[in-house]
Structures are given as C-alpha cells and as structure tokens.
C-alpha cells in the first residue's frame, strides 16, 4: 500500500467521509424523532395518534441502533480488506490457480464480495427475525429465508458470470473501444433483464395470480384504458408470505409490462384508494419520468466506462493498492503497458474508490425523484378529480409500514427518493381539479 498515492487517498478519504456523513444524517434523524416524533401534525388529526407515532419512533429507533454497528463495521472491513492486501492476495492466488483471465475474474469477483456478505448476514437475520417480527411485519420462516438466499445466490451467478466474461473478452480483444462495446452490452443486458423479469425471475420468489376482485379489476382496467396504458395484466403477489409491508409497482416493458399489487395492499386499501395508487404509478409513465431517467442514465454509463478506459491505463492505480503490473519495466526504452489480463482489477479498484462518493449523485437523484413523485401525485389526483383518495391511501400505507411522517429535510435529500408523507399530504390538499400538468397531458 502506498498511502501517499492519490488513488489510495481518494479511497480512504471517500470511505471515511461517506461513513461520517451517513452516521451524522442518521443521528440528526434520530434526534428529530426524539424531539418531535410523537407529535401529531394538524393535517393528520383523526388519522393518527401519539401512540401510533411512538410505535413508529420505536421501530425506526431499533433500525437505527442496528444500523450503527453494521455501518461502522462495514466501513472498517472495507478499509481492512484494502490495507491488508486481501484483494492483492486474492488475485494472485486466483491467477496462479487458473492461469486464465476469465476464470480469474469470475473467482475474484465472487470471493471479493464474500467478506462483506458474511458480515451482513447476522445483521440481516437480526432485522428479519427480531425487529421485523417484534413489530408484526415479518412472516418469514427460516426455511423460506434459506430458500430465498440460495435462489438469490444462484441467480446472481447466472446473471453476473456472462456479463463478467463479456467484459473480460472486450478488455482483452477490443482494444481502445472496449468501453463503448461494453456499454452497449450492459444497456442491452439491462433491457433484456427488465423484459424477462416479470415472467421468468419474479415467479422464482413469489406467486403472481390475475386479480380476481371484479369491482377492483374493473376500476383498474378502466383507469389503464383511460390513460392509454397497455399491459400484460393486473396481478396479485403473495407478499404476505414474507412480510406484512404493503406496496404496488409496475414491472417489465413492452408486451411484458405488468401491474403488480401486494396482497397486503388490497387488504388495506379501498378500491378507490387502490385506484389512486395505481394512478400515481401511471403518472410516472405518462409524464415520461421513466424515459427521462433512461435518457440520463444511459449516457452516464458510457461516460463512466470511457473515464474508466483512461484511468485503468495509469500504473499508479494498481501500484498504490499493492498490485504489481510490470508497467514499471521498460520495453524498447519506454515503460510497458498494463497487462490486459489485469485491467479488470483496475475497474474493480475504481469501483471501490467511487463507492465513497456515491452520496453526491444519490442526493441529486433523490431531489429529482421527489420532484417526480409530487408530479405523479398531481397526475393521480387529476385522474380521480380529487386528491383525497390518494391522501388517505398514503396515510394508511404510512401507518401500516410505520414510516416516519416528517424526517429532517437534510436527511431526506441524501436518503429518501420519495417526499415525506406530510409534504405529500399538504401538496395534495392544494390540488385543484382544473389544474393542468406541466406537459399538457389530459386524461382521455
């Protein structure tokens, strides 16, 4: 390790700062709960009481006290793995064992994530079988948890191995254009995954059945038709076999688009409220939020890969973390280049460095996402000609999930992709049926 190396400095500084930032934000949120967490805002009189809010605070506090050791130990582990030369030794042994760039990359990628997975295991188990069960959320059994874990590991290998192999192939054979070709493969892979997910992947974990409630189905299908949204159907997911938390979402694209409702959601909300929730989700599609995010994310993928293609050619990136590339040797009087078999290590190291600075793009994404959520709320209110059904649905979901109603603004910017309940309720109260959306969209 070269602690004066710029890449090492960036890694350590970013990792430590990110840890301190998140710990500070969580503490600010904790202090705010202690001060005002049990106070019932005027807008929620008749819907919530201090007893419920105290229970919400207790749930959030338990999660916070679990977060502290998990996050601190995770940060320490990340620093120890790098500073101890763990990754250097892992690469050396994998290469000596296989002598093959593809197998080395696969073995390295799998085993490099093993220490953090082992560290996370007891915390995940404690949350699932202690905290979530304590507050009446978890319906998970040990057998189902093991089955989910095994399926997740197998699925992760099945999906990641071809992508890793493709990346190594391009690094070895595609010269300076590997980043562009890998970007195309990654985008196509992600699109393909989204297409097959509803039909082939999600059913591995849950059972999806066509919605049987005739009244609700008629209302929701009418809403889809009203907005011109075509889908593969409206499905009920057996979420209650794992948790009593409630949700609804769209998944897939093209002919595989599906509307998915948790069975816990339909048991909690009225038909009118469920319609409003679906209207909110439709708002994201009709207001082009999904397309706009793709228009941002796809170019960023190519920009990041292009930057990586330049940085992985810098010997200091490797030597700073203890990797020996031979680039310091001379060939024909000039320094030798980085061996192509090692360039995937450069990408891995850049990923480690970038993790310490993800808080910045995350904050920007959260601000944009919250703006979209408000717009989707207005869209749903316009469809229903009133914001009341969505407001009551949001209140019920918040109560059912024991979510905070008004965490500090600074905390939300860095951690929440959705606005707090109180802000959404206040915005919906200001809705007027004759409002027009920014893009001029009018329901049919």
**Element holding 45 (H helix, E strand):** none
SS3 of 312-339: CCCHHHHHCCCCCCCCCCEECCEECCCC
DSSP bridge partners of 237: 208, 262
The span from the CA of 368 to the CA of 284, in Å, is 12
Q: Which residues neighbour 172 within 8 Å (Cβ) at sequence distance 6 or greater?
A: 101, 340, 341
Site of tokens 């997910």: 197
CA–centroid distance for 91 within its chain:
29
- Tokens in use for 309? 């293609």
The span from the CA of 355 to the CA of 436, in Å, is 41
Q: CA 346 → CA 236, 306, 311, distances in Å?
A: 44, 13, 8
Cβ-contact 165, 102 below 8 angstroms: yes
The span from the CA of 253 to the CA of 190, in Å, is 12
Q: What is the DSSP letter of 40?
A: P
- Tokens in use for 120? 């996370």
DSSP string, 58-121: HHHHHHHHHHHHHHHHHHHHHHHHHHTTHHHHHHHHHHHHH--HHHHHHHHHHHHTHHHHHHHH
- Tokens in use for 8? 């090492």
Angle, to 10 degrees, between the axis of helix 343-355 and the axis of helix 101-112? 20
The span from the CA of 92 to the CA of 87, in Å, is 9
Active site residue 377: yes
The span from the CA of 318 to the CA of 312, in Å, is 8
- With CA atoms as reference, report the closest residue to 277 among 219, 330, 349, 321: 219
The span from the CA of 367 to the CA of 363, in Å, is 6
Cβ-contact 223, 286 below 8 angstroms: no
- Among 26, 29, 377, 404, which one carries the catalytic annotation? 377
Active site residue 281: yes
- Among 281, 341, 373, 404, which one carries the catalytic annotation? 281
Q: Would you name the residues annotated as active-site residues?
A: 281, 377
């Amino acid at each position: 390790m070269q602690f004066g190396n710029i890449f090492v400095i960036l890694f350590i500084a970013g990792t430590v700062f990110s840890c301190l930032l998140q710990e500070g934000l969580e503490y600010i949120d904790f202090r705010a709960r202690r001060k005002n967490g049990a106070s019932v805002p005027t807008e929620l009189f008749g819907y919530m009481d201090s007893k419920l809010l105290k229970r919400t605070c207790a749930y959030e506090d338990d999660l916070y006290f679990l977060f502290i050791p998990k996050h601190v130990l995770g940060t320490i582990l990340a620093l120890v793995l790098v500073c101890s030369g763990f990754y250097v030794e892992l690469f050396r042994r994998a290469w000596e064992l296989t002598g093959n760039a593809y197998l080395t990359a696969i073995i390295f990628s799998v085993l490099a994530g093993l220490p953090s997975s082992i560290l996370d295991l007891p915390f995940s188990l404690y949350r699932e079988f202690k905290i979530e069960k304590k507050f009446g959320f978890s319906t998970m059994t040990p057998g189902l948890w093991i089955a989910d874990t095994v399926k997740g590991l197998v699925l992760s290998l099945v999906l990641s191995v071809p992508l890793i192999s493709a990346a190594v192939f391009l690094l070895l054979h595609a010269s300076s254009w590997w980043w562009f070709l890998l970007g195309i493969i990654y985008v196509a892979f992600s699109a393909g995954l989204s297409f097959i997910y509803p039909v082939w992947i999600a059913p591995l974990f849950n059972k999806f059945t066509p919605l049987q409630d005739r009244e609700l189905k008629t209302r929701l299908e009418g809403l889809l038709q009203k907005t011109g949204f075509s889908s593969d159907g409206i499905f009920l997911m057996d979420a209650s076999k794992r948790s009593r938390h409630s949700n609804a979402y769209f998944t897939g694209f093209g002919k595989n688009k599906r509307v998915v409702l948790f069975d816990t959601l339909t048991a909690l909300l009225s038909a009118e409220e469920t319609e409003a929730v679906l209207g909110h989700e439709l708002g994201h599609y009709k207001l082009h939020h999904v397309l706009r995010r793709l228009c941002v994310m796809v170019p960023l993928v190519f920009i990041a890969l292009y930057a990586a293609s330049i940085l992985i050619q810098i010997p200091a990136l490797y030597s700073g973390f203890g990797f020996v590339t031979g680039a310091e040797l001379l060939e024909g009087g000039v320094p030798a280049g980085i061996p192509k078999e090692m360039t995937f290590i450069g990408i891995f190291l850049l990923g480690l460095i970038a993790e310490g600075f993800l808080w910045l793009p995350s904050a920007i994404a959260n601000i944009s996402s919250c703006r979209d959520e408000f717009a989707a709320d207005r869209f749903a209110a316009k469809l229903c000609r009133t914001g009341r059904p969505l407001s009551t649905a949001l209140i019920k979901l918040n109560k059912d999930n024991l979510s905070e109603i008004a965490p500090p603004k600074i905390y939300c910017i860095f951690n929440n992709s959705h606005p707090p309940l109180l802000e959404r309720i206040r915005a919906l109260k200001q809705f007027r049926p004759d409002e027009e959306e920014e893009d001029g969209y009018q329901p049919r």
